[in-house]
Structure 1
């Protein structure tokens, strides 16, 4: 059963209704990396009462996320070392709608993901503007980080994929990411062609999707697109947190480089 067929059978939900029912800017995220066939089996059983986000008759959307880090990879190292106070800074462009945001993702003291974001000009996706820095400094400080870190942040990784979003009957959301691809500032690229990232987003308790995955023997992988993409393209960085993923799905992937112009 192909993903598109599964999504086509779901009832649709508009973006404003999705946000009204499950905005979940503060939430618990659980991520699973699965082969495409296994992901489709899970979704076939879990999606019968789900609604799928639909905008302008589209149910899958292209995402382009640019992650920012310092030259010594402060943000990456905090993530790789599982520090309680860690953060990710990115711009996110929704390619099918033309909208974009500047986002700071942090962890609360209880392990929940907190996302703060503002609208952003897609033209500025590869940089942090003066207005962006002014927005980010107090947020970093409030989460225990040096607010001047933002002045050292540079584009470090681009993550591209296609995403569908489900609204489940228990009020949780689930995202389905396919066509996974990463590139860095040096033009190196790596892709996973037959893997899917399923992510549940709930206010805390396990969602319907989590329980379906657990019954099938799948457990959260802790995968981070920023973390695993950076580790795959920069083997000199510490990568213990994602060693199993790098030895597994990424082991057959090929890193390509741009030809010099």
Structure 2
């Protein structure tokens, strides 16, 4: 199988970046002081969990991007996220093998991603998330490293818990900035809270992703490994090896793991009732 392209190397942060983003994070109500900035870590090229995904993906039937858009586009959806050991993903795939397909594009089944998140100097959008505001937003640029496709995105969380993603074609060289065309797009969806002019890049994330589709149920599960995060001040952290971030995306949010899966233990990850209902 083709080895996935690694996300691009670290780009310099723009001049608007806050001087000490860690200080802003420490000011978020209810959060413990994270202490000094973490040490820098090696690039994703040194990580290996994506090879585990590649081996797993090789055992599954495939779906195309066009089929994915037709059967489970899910631009409006309910998301659930779980950080679990890779062994839990293995168990999930084994339990739903006949119903799962893996996204394949140009012979690849594991893909490199790079995202840059934008926020205010006091991290208002992040604070809205942590404090559980019913209506909240994320603003980011995203690079699909294997194809070079780049998007500017606004994700809006609604009062009923649904997520709506709005996207605009973007340029790879503008990954770290939102210029005039993008400001109009973002401003429309933020409706002035906060004003788009005060947004600046505050976090860069890189990872590799496999996308699974439960064909009958219209359920999508993204599986992210080799996750690393870097702030504009140069501090960086990596999710420990052997862990995978699973995110279920469905129209109703009905797909939930059993308690043993959520806890990283053994046992079927998705309840039988959920699977039967989706057929």
**TM class by smaller structure:** 0.7 to 0.9
Name the counterpart of 1:68. Answer: 118
Name the counterpart of 1:48. Answer: 98
Cα distance change, pair 198–120 in 1 and its aligned pair in 2 (3 A)? same
Aligned partner (choices 158, 166, 172) of residue 204 of structure 2: 158
Tell which deviates more after alignment, 113-122 or 39-48.
39-48
TM-score, with length taken from structure 1: 0.77
Hey, what's the Cα distance between the residues in 2 that align with 1:15 and 1:106?
Answer: 23
Q: CA RMSD in A?
A: 1.8
Confirm whether residue 199 of structure 1 aligns to residue 247 of structure 2.
yes
Hey, what's the Cα distance between the residues in 2 that align with 1:90 and 1:122?
Answer: 13
Aligned partner (choices 236, 255, 258) of residue 189 of structure 1: 236
Deviations 1:219-261 (A, max 9, x none): 69xxxxxxxxxxxxxxxxxxxxxxxxxxxxxxxxxxxxxxxxx
Name the counterpart of 1:238. Answer: none
Greater relative CO (CA pairs within 8 A, separation 6+): 2
Aligned partner (choices 182, 206, 209) of residue 132 of structure 1: 182
Unaligned runs of 5+ in 1: 221-261
Higher helix fraction: Structure 1 or Structure 2? 1
* 8 Å Cα contact 1:6/1:44 also seen in 2: no
TM-score, with length taken from structure 2: 0.72
**1:1-261 alignment runs, 5 A limit:** 2-141=52-191, 145-146=192-193, 149-169=195-215, 170-192=217-239, 193-207=241-255, 210=256, 213-214=257-258, 216-218=260-262
Runs of 4+ more than 4 Å apart:
none
Larger radius of gyration: 2
Aligned length in residues: 212
* 8 Å Cα contact 1:10/1:49 also seen in 2: no
